[in-house]
């Protein structure tokens, strides 16, 4: 499982507590939307983390074939999260997703 923890407490942290939302707002001051690219090796837990942030069930997560896109809204800010599969056959195509990405999250 994936845990986003705050430095101040051991409980689960929201995007606000992680500081990610503040960082993205600073980068995209005039807009209320950002694109996040999530990359990592297969079975690293990328999809599980995304499902946890979305408050979705994580008891049955299957490997991502290609990519998933999830839109999350937090405090009026929209995050378009691109979860890219980590299989060896997909990795050469990762570079095709970098354009228009505001934040890269590496999960390993």
Domain ranges of the chain: 15-106
Query: Was 42 annotated as part of a binding site?
Result: yes
- Residues annotated catalytic, as ranges: 87
Q: Is 0.85 surpassed by the pTM of this model? A: no
User: Is 29 within any annotated ligand binding site?
Assistant: no
96 annotated as a binding-site residue: no
pLDDT in tens, 82-99: 999 999 999 999 999 999
Q: Is the pLDDT at 3 greater than 70, yes or no?
A: no
- Tell me how far apart the alpha carbons of residues 101 and 72 are, in angstroms, rounded to a whole number: 15
Task: Give me the pLDDT at residue 17, please.
Answer: 53
d(CA 47, CA 31): 26
**Chosen CATH of 15-106 out of 3.90.480.10, 3.30.360.10, 3.40.50.300, 3.30.70.360:** 3.40.50.300
């Amino acid at each position: 499982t994936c845990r986003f923890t705050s430095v101040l407490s051991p409980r689960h942290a929201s995007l606000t507590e992680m500081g990610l939302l503040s960082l993205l707002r600073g980068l995209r001051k005039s807009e209320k939307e950002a694109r996040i690219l999530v990359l990592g090796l297969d079975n690293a837990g990328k999809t599980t983390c995304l499902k946890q942030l979305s408050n979705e069930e994580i008891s049955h997560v299957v490997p991502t074939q290609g990519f998933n896109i999830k839109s999350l809204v937090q405090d009026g800010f929209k995050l378009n999260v691109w979860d890219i599969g980590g299989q060896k056959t997909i990795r050469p195509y990762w570079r095709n997703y970098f354009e228009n990405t505001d934040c890269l999250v590496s999960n390993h």
